[in-house]
């Protein structure tokens, strides 16, 4: 009985499933925060692996060391690309905060982002935390787990054949900057008809950031 369960196909499928789930939790928003201990992520990944193993289609490729290494790399890259697409949603809001901070002359007022261990502006951090609270309020973490379960229909090692995903990713990256700038302009109430206001704010912000000791950094416009 144990020999039948621990056959090469089941063991390889279990390994690739664990790598896919662990990679997803390492790259998708909220679960990729550094404030979540790695031991918790590993235990949660193992629990999800046992939970979903019975519904996963078994591997169909020839089992050898070369194919297994290629499949492992495939799963990591797959999770990375999905994580990038989902993280872009939060990065757009962070980009909005950086644009607002630049116009307000607050780019030097940085704080440490505990989720990623990097410096970020106060406005960006404030908008990001609001987005995280809304994300959790609507059950975004549950939706990500449901999305992970949906990806199990993609056979292990078959991600590189998904050309439509690449085209969508390239198109989404192009829209990234356009959406961020549009949101920032909306919040700042800057339209094409108000060029004089924009021309006035940008030089003042540059001077305020360049010479913080001479000017009050809270002066806008």
Q: Give the structural domain span for 9.
A: 2-188
Query: pLDDT tens across 32-42, in order?
Result: 888 888 899 99
pLDDT by residue for the chain (221 residues), tens only, comes to 566 667 888 888 899 999 999 999 999 888 888 888 889 999 999 999 999 988 888 888 888 888 888 888 888 888 888 888 888 888 888 888 887 887 777 767 777 887 777 788 888 888 888 988 999 899 888 988 998 888 888 888 665 555 566 666 666 666 666 666 666 565 555 444 444 555 555 555 555 555 544 444 444 44
Cα gap 101→202, rounded to integer Å: 11
Per-residue pLDDT tens for 40-84? Answer: 999 999 999 999 988 888 888 888 888 888 888 888 888 888 888
Domain membership flag for residue 30: yes
CA 221 to chain centre: 34
Nearest Cα to 89, choosing from 120, 35, 134?
134
DSSP string computed for 82-143? HHHHHHHHHHHHHHHHHHHHHHHT-TT-EEEETTTTEEEEHHHHHHHHHHHHHHHHTTHHHH
Q: Provide the number of structural domains found in the chain.
A: 1
Please check whether residue 11 lies inside any domain of the structure: yes
Which H/E stretch holds residue 198?
A: helix 195-210
Q: Is residue 180 part of a domain?
A: yes
pTM value? Answer: 0.69
Q: Is 105 left (phi over 0), alpha (psi -120 to 50) or beta?
A: left
Q: What is the DSSP letter of 12?
A: H
User: Is residue 200 domain-resident?
Assistant: no
Note whether residue 146 is domain-resident. Answer: yes
Pair 41, 22: CB distance under 8 Å = yes
Question: Domain for residue 206, yes or no?
Answer: no
Q: CB of 87 within 8 A of CB of 135?
A: no
Average pLDDT, the chain: 76
Torsion of CA 114, 185, 187, 110, to 10 degrees: 30
DSSP structure class, residue 64: S
220 is a domain residue = no
User: Do the domain assignments include residue 142?
Assistant: yes
């Amino acid at each position: 009985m144990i020999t039948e369960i621990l056959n090469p196909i089941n063991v390889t499928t279990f390994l690739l499933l664990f790598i896919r789930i662990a990679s997803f939790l390492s790259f998708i928003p909220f679960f990729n925060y550094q404030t979540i201990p790695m031991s918790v992520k590993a235990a949660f990944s193992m629990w999800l692996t046992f939970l979903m193993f019975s519904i996963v289609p078994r591997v169909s490729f020839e089992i050898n060391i070369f194919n297994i290494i290629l499949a492992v790399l495939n799963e990591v890259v797959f999770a990375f690309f999905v994580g990038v697409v989902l993280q872009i949603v939060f990065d757009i809001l962070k980009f909005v905060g950086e644009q607002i901070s630049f116009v307000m002359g607050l780019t030097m007022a940085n704080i440490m982002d505990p989720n990623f261990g990097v410096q970020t502006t106060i406005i960006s951090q404030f908008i990001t935390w609001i987005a995280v609270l809304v994300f959790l309020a609507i059950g975004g973490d549950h939706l990500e787990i449901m999305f992970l379960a949906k990806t199990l229909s993609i056979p292990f090692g078959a991600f590189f054949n998904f050309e439509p995903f690449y085209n969508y990713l390239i198109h989404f990256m192009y829209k990234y900057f356009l959406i961020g700038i549009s949101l920032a302009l909306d919040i700042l109430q800057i339209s094409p008809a108000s060029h004089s206001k924009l021309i006035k704010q940008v030089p003042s912000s540059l001077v305020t950031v360049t010479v913080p000791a001479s000017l009050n950094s809270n002066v806008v416009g």
